[in-house]
Every structure is written in structure tokens, then in C-alpha cells.
Structure 1
Amino acid sequence: MTLRLMLVAPVTTAALRGARFPVDEPPDAAGLRAARAAAGALPRVDRAVCAPAERCRGTALALGLRVTGEDAPADWDMGRWRGRSLAEVSAAEPDAVARWLADPSAAPHGGESLTALRTRVGAWLDGLPAAPGRLLAVVDPAVVRAALVHALALPPQTFWRLDIAPLALTELTTRTPPHWNFHCGARLQAPGDAPPGQDG
């Protein structure tokens, strides 16, 4: 039997719209409208969990999910860079940013390195019960990317090449953990909506 894990990225927030490193803030109004509209497109699930961030909780609520008390992995801890844009940090700390982008073990911001993020998310992924069923988790894009890198044993630098859009659904399946298969993500959309890129 198959465990089907569905990872859904939260909707937009003010920080995300401003291309800033995330802070713990609620979804914006446009994001909540998008989540409510997409609620009917969610696949059937047996259980739902959610990351502790307010944006993830708000997204899960807008999608109409009943989440358990268990937390899914929290977002990447960006330390003192939280709330700042990459452009701002690059101008102020160019050497630190270059080291962060080149070395997965570097954490010049004082938060969590990419290696630490992958290890933490991978431990959660591999620790999921092997019982068959459908588990949905609302988690931040960095967590989805780290899960894919871990599950598929990809090189760490692949993390930077993965783009996860708001409300994107990414699916991993397994019959024998920790061996996972990946199904390419699809954006959730309300019934009757045109697929992305086909707005008429």
C-alpha cells in the first residue's frame, strides 16, 4: 500500500510580495481569496497537518482543512536576514551572501544552514508512519524544496533550482520509506478555472 504525501505551499504575504526573507505574518487578502477559491480543488485527504507559521495556518483555514495538533516542519530560519530583501542583504553583506549561496553548510545570517534545513525536513519525512493513506501538509516553499532534495537524494545545490509557487501542490509517494517517488506539482485552482497560462 502507498503513503501519499501532498505538500501545499501557503498563499502570498506582504513579505513574499516584496521579495523579502519571510517573517511570521498572516496571508494577505488576495492570497486568502485565492485559497478559498481553490478549496474545492483539493484532493481527498485522510489527515492534514500544518507548519506553525501564521501564513501556513491561515492558508489551511482558508482551504477548509481540519489540521491535527501535530506540526509539520517550520520554515527555514533565516536569522537576522528575516524581513530583508536579498538585494538589501547583498548590498550590505556581499561576501556573506556569496558564501551562503555557495556553501550548503554556511549560515552567516545566524540562523539555519541549508544542510541543517535539509536534515531537519528529511528527518520529518523519513519519520512519517508507513501506513497507507493520504497526508496533506501546508508548509513553506523552502520546506517543500528541502523535502524534494532529500527524498530524491539530489545534490544540495539543486535546492536553488526549484521554484515553488503559492498554492502549488507537490506530491511524494512511497511504499517502502525512505524511498520516495515524486509527482510534479500542480497549482490548485477552483473548478471551472482555466489552467495557469490559459486565461483567454
Structure 2
Amino acid sequence: MTSRVLLVSPAMSTSLRQARFDDGGSIDESGAARARSAAGALPSAGRVLTSPTVRCRETAAALGLDGVPVPELAGLDVGRWRGRTLEEVGAAEPEAVGRWLTDPDCAPHGGESVRDLCERVAGGLADAQQLEGRTIAVVEPEVVRAAVAGALGMPAAVFWRLDVPPLTVTELSGRAGRWNLRLGCPLAAPEAA
């Protein structure tokens, strides 16, 4: 039995442009337009899931997907840093940011550590591997990073070395406890026949 999980990163938003920790904001108009133009580019799936964030739910809707928000697919909880830019936090708490960016067990913001996120996402992947067919999940970039690290058995420290551009697809296919990876395919409008 082969399971396929297509992880779709959300469309561009003001928060992403500003390197702002998720503030609950919407995707911007250019991101929504790109997502709408890519509607139909994804294959059919038995399940469509989303991170519970506004930008993931809006991206799914713009892609023409009726996704179910799943709390376990939430992005990294950054506690008191939520809504602030990395530059702002770095200026106010440089040592804390430095520790956070180098130690996957560190959570100076009072939220979740990178390792905790990776373990949470790995549990979801283990569950997905028990399901036949294809799952599409529109999820935060950090969920994609955690999924890739977990699927390949890489240490949590690799999390910061992975970039996930907006509106791209990362595909995992697996069976018998092993995942294969297809990286960062951009979503594009389906070609006219």
C-alpha cells in the first residue's frame, strides 16, 4: 500500500513578506490571484486537510479545495513572539533568538520548540502512512520543514536549513515505514488542452 501526501505551502501574505511570525492575517491579493490561477493543478485526493491558520484555509479555498482544518497540522507556536517580525524580536531579545535558531529544544518565546513541532508532525505522518491513496494538506512552511526532516530521518537541527517558498508542493510517498521525497514543485495554472 502506497500513501502519498502533498504538502502545499500557503500563498503569499503580508506577514510572509515582512518575515512576521503568523499574526492570523489573510493571504494578500497577489497570493490569492496566484492560487486561483493554479486551481485544478493538483491531482484529486481522498483527503484534503489544512493547518488551522487563516492563510492556509484561504489558500485551500483559492485553489478550489474544501479542506478540513486539523489542529495537529498547526504551525509552530511561537508564544509571545506571535505577530512580531524576526527583526523586532532579534533587536529586543538577541540572545533568545540566537538560542532558538541553533537549539531545536529551545523555546524562549514560551511556545513550542522546533523538536516538539517535528515530533508532532512526525506523528501525523505515521498516521498518514496507514492510509491508502493521496492526501493534500495546505500547511504552514514550518510544517513542511518538519515533515521533510521527519520523513528522511534527519535531526531536528536541519529544520532551519530548509526553505519552503509560497505556493509550492512537496510530495511524500511512502510504504512500509519509509518515505520518498519530491521537493518544491511550484503550483502553476493547468495548461489548456
- Alignment map for 1:1-150 (pairs within 5 Å): 1-68=1-68, 70=70, 73-128=73-128, 130-150=130-150
Q: Distance in 2 between matches of 1:170 and 1:39?
A: 17
Q: Distance in 1 between matches of 2:72 and 2:176?
A: 21
What are the ranges of 5 or more consecutive residues in structure 2 without an aligned counterpart?
A: none
1:9–1:141 contact (8 Å) kept in structure 2: yes
Residue range with higher mean Cα deviation, 83-92 or 110-119: 83-92
Shift of 1:71: 5.1
Shift of 1:191: 2.9
What is the identity, as a one-letter code, of the residue corresponding to 1:56? Answer: C
Percent identity reads 50
- So what's the TM-score if we normalise by structure 1? 0.90
Q: Deviations over 1:87-119 (max 9, x none)?
A: 211111111111111211110011110111111
**Which residue does the alignment assign to 1:185?**
184
1:50–1:72 contact (8 Å) kept in structure 2: no
* SS of equivalent to 2:111: coil
Residue range with higher mean Cα deviation, 133-142 or 152-161: 152-161
Q: Deviations over 1:17-37 (max 9, x none)?
A: 111111212111111101000
2:129–2:174 contact (8 Å) kept in structure 1: no
Across the two proteins, how many residue pairs are aligned to each other?
192
2:73–2:139 contact (8 Å) kept in structure 1: yes
- So what's the TM-score if we normalise by structure 2? 0.93
Q: Deviations over 1:160-190 (max 9, x none)?
A: 111101111000011123x211112200011
RMSD of Structure 2 on Structure 1 (CA): 1.6
1:80–1:111 contact (8 Å) kept in structure 2: yes
Shift of 1:69: 6.4
What are the ranges of 5 or more consecutive residues in structure 1 without an aligned counterpart?
A: 194-200
What is the identity, as a one-letter code, of the residue corresponding to 2:90? Answer: S
What is the identity, as a one-letter code, of the residue corresponding to 1:30? Answer: S
What is the identity, as a one-letter code, of the residue corresponding to 1:149? Answer: A
Q: Distance in 2 between matches of 1:103 and 1:184?
A: 25
